[in-house]
Amino acid sequence: MNYAIKPLEGFTEKIGELAFMLEHSRSVTLNDVKDLQMGELDDIEGAGGNSIGALLAHIAAIEKVHQLISFEDRDFTEEEWQQWGAAIELGEEARSEFKGRTLADYLTGLEQLRSTTLDKLRTKEDSWLYEERYWPNGVPYNNYYLWFHVMEDEISHRGQIRAIKRRLRKG
């Protein structure tokens, strides 16, 4: 593993650095879940907890919605919300929806989404990162923030995944 942040080939400088960080974060996540079995992916502690599987689905859903916002300047359609809403919101619906799936099921989705993200990022110039838009409430954001948030969210949920794994391995 390389611990020096440098632009990935095929990208502009800043976008290449961002792509490196996204890929590094993902590789650590994949390493953390590589040996999990269905029972571990499905396990939920307590009434309000999330399973590792639901957290992986959430990581994928966050990437998907940020693809739509940053590359297509839109949010989920109603049909897309039906597909991705439980993973975005987590909670009770996600606890029932995300069980009985294999690790390969989750990883395939994550890999497909990341491939699309990287393909789209290859078409952008660094200035695209700084293009400012506004949320419906008037708060400004830019594409750099959106992709920072994708990475930040994954890292945060990876911490939850690690805590669940520790509990499972002790029990």
What pLDDT, in 10s, does the model give residues 110-167?
999 999 999 999 999 999 999 999 999 999 999 999 999 999 999 999 999 999 999 9
Say if 3 falls within a structural domain. Answer: no
Task: Give the CATH number for residue 55.
Answer: 1.20.120.450
Say if 19 falls within a structural domain. Answer: yes
Say if 111 falls within a structural domain. Answer: yes
Say if 20 falls within a structural domain. Answer: yes
Query: Within 10 A of 145 (CB to CB), how many other CB atoms are there?
Result: 17
Say if 1 falls within a structural domain. Answer: no
Contact 103, 41 (CB under 8 A): yes
- Boundaries of domain holding 49: 13-170
CA distances from 165 to 65, 96, 121, 156, 170 (A): 27, 20, 33, 15, 9
Say if 80 falls within a structural domain. Answer: yes
Say if 38 falls within a structural domain. Answer: yes
- Which residue type sits at 93? E
Q: How confident is the model at residue 1 (pLDDT cuts 50, 70, 90)?
A: low
Q: What's the structural domain count of the chain? A: 1
Say if 8 falls within a structural domain. Answer: no
